[in-house]
Amino acid sequence: MLIRLEDVYYTYETEGIEALRGVSLQIQEGEHLAIIGPNGCGKTTLIRHLNALLLPARGNVTVDGLKTDHPKHQAEIRAQIGMVFQNPDHQIVGMTVEEDVAFGPENLRLPSDEIKKRVTEAMSRAGIAKLAGRGIENLSGGEKRLVAIAGVLAMRPRFIALDEPTAFLDPAAAGRVLDMIDRLHAEGVGIIHITHNMAEAALTQRVVVMREGRILLDGTPPEIFGKAAMLKQSGMQLPQITELLLELKEAGWPVRTDIVHMKDALDQIIALTGKKQG
Amino acid sequence: MYHTGSFIRGRSLVHRLDPRVKLSAALVFSIFILWVKPSLALASGVILLFPVLISDISLRTLVQAIKPLLFLIVLIFMVHVFFSDGSGEAPGGQTFHGLSFSRTGFQEAFWVVWRFLCLMVAAILLTMTTAPSQMIAAVKYFLKPLKKVRVPVDELAVMLLLALKLMPILLTEKERIETAQKSRGYDASRSGWVTRLKSFSHLTSKILTGVFRRADELALAMDARNFRRGERSSLAELKLTSSDYIVMGLLIFFLIIFVALNSHFG
**Is B155 near chain A, with CB under 8 Å?**
no
C-alpha separations of B190 from A35, B197, B241 in Å = 51, 13, 58
Give the pLDDT score at B94. Answer: 66
Q: Are A3 and A159 in contact (CB under 8 A)?
A: yes
Residue of A62, A81, A34 whose CA lies nearest to A195: A34
Among B131, B225, B237, whose Cβ lies nearest the Cβ of A107? Answer: B225
Burial class (CB in 10 A: 0-12, 13-18, 19+), A66: middle
Q: Provide, as residue numbers in chain B, all residues whose Cβ is less than 8 Å from the Cβ of A118.
A: none
Nearest to A242 by CA among A261, A218, A216: A261
Q: B225 and B251 share a domain?
A: no
> A112 vs B233: CB contact, 8 Å cut-off?
yes
Are both B169 and B86 inside the same structural domain?
no
Q: Does the pLDDT at position B98 exceed 70?
A: no
What distance in Å separates the CA atoms of residue B128 and residue B15, rounded to the nearest whole number? 9
B140 domain-assigned: no
Element housing A146 (H / E): helix A141-153
Residues B102 and B157 grouped into a single domain: no
- Per-residue confidence band for B243, with pLDDT thresholds at 50, 70 and 90: very high
**pLDDT classification of B1: cutoffs 50, 70, 90:** very low
C-alpha B93/C-alpha A169 separation (Å) is 67
B127 residue type, one letter? T
Minimum-distance CB partner of A112 among B3, B231, B237? B237
| Coil/strand/helix, residue B241 | coil
C-alpha span between A142 and A175 (Å, rounded): 10
- Per residue in A123-144, pLDDT (tens digit) is 999 999 999 888 888 899 889 9
What's the gap in Å between the CA of A149 and the closest CA on chain B?
Answer: 11
Q: Find all residues with CB under 8 Å of B156, minimum gap 6, and list them.
A: B139, B143
Distance of alpha carbon B102 from alpha carbon A198, whole angstroms: 77
The number of helix segments (H) and strand segments (E) in chain B equals: 10, 2
Average pLDDT, chain B: 83
B214 touches chain A (CB under 8 A): yes
Domain A2-234, CATH 3.20.20.140 — does that match? Answer: no
Confidence of residue B102 (pLDDT cuts 50, 70, 90): confident
Smallest CA–CA distance from A135 into chain B, residue: B7
Q: In this complex, do B7 and A135 lie within 8 Å of one another by their Cβ atoms? A: yes
Please tell me whether residues B27 and B125 are part of one structural domain: yes
The single-letter DSSP state of residue A54 is S
| Claim to verify: residue B5 and residue B118 sit in the same structural domain | yes
Q: CA of A254, closest CA in chain B: separation in Å?
A: 49
Say if CB A157 and CB A189 are below 8 A apart. Answer: yes
Residues on chain A touching B132 (C-beta within 8 angstroms): 94-96, 99
Q: What is the pLDDT of residue B93?
A: 60
Sorted by where each begins, the domain ranges of chain A are 2-234, 239-278
Considering only A31-45, A105-119, A180-194, B105-119, which range has the smallest mean pLDDT? B105-119
- Quote the CA–CA distance of B100 and A35 in Å, as a whole number: 74
Q: How many CB pairs under 8 A join A and B?
A: 107
Range of the domain at B20: 1-131+238-266
The continuous run of DSSP H or E covering A79 comes out as helix A71-80
Of A90, A96, A133, the CB nearest to B218: A90
Q: How many domains does chain B have?
A: 2
**Are A85 and B221 in contact, with CB atoms under 8 Å apart?**
yes
- Mark yes or no for CB contact B133/A94 under 8 Å: yes
Indicate whether B15 belongs to any domain: yes
Write the CA distances from A60 to A23, A71, A92, A208, integer angstroms: 10, 14, 30, 19
* CA-based nearest residue to B210, from B158, B156, B171, B160: B171
Give chain B positions within 8 Å (CB) of A89.
214
Rounded Cα distance between B26 and A79, Å, is: 39
- B98 and B125 in one domain? yes
Write out pLDDT tens, residues A198-249: 989 998 999 999 999 999 999 999 899 888 888 888 888 888 888 888 888 8
Query: What torsion, rounded to 10 degrees, do the Cα atoms A151, A157, A162, A168 define?
Result: 20
- Whether residue B133 lies within 8 A of chain A, CB to CB, comes out as yes
Question: Are B109 and B189 found together in one domain?
Answer: no
Q: Is the pLDDT of residue A3 over 90?
A: yes
> Chain A closest CA to B81's CA: distance in Å?
41
Same domain? For B200 and B265 the reply is no
More confident residue, A185 or A94: A185
Percent of chain A whose predicted confidence (pLDDT) is above 70:
98
Shortest CA distance to A166 belongs to which of A185, A179, A183, A152? A179
Inter-chain residue contact B235 with A115, CB threshold 8 Å: yes
| Residue A175 CB contacts under 8 Å (≥ 6 apart), including other chains | none
Lowest mean pLDDT among A261-275, B4-18, B142-156, B187-201: B187-201
Q: Which of B90-104, B154-168, B191-205, B239-253 has the lowest mean pLDDT?
A: B90-104
> What pLDDT does B2 receive?
47
Q: Describe the strand order of the beta sheet including A17-28 as a list of residue ranges.
A: A17-28, A2-12, A58-63, A66-67
Residue B40 belongs to some domain of the structure: yes
**Same domain (yes/no): B167, B246:** no
Q: Cβ separation of B226 and A79 shorter than 8 Å?
A: yes
ipTM: 0.82
> Nearest by CB to A102, which of B217, B220, B235?
B235
pLDDT of residue A48 exceeding 90: yes
pLDDT at B83: 73
Percent of chain A whose pLDDT exceeds 90: 61
pLDDT class of B5 with cuts at 50, 70, 90:
low
Per-residue model confidence as pLDDT tens digits over B51-81? 999 998 888 888 888 888 888 888 888 888 8
Under a CB-based contact definition with an 8 Å cutoff, are residues B224 and A51 in contact? yes
Q: Which residues of A touch B164 (CB under 8 A)?
A: 95
Residue B142 inside a domain? The answer is no
Given this model, what pLDDT does residue B159 score?
A: 85
Give B39's pLDDT tier (boundaries 50, 70, 90).
confident
Q: Specify the pTM.
A: 0.78
**pLDDT for position B108:** 84
Instruction: Clarify whether residues B87 and B202 are in a common domain.
Output: no
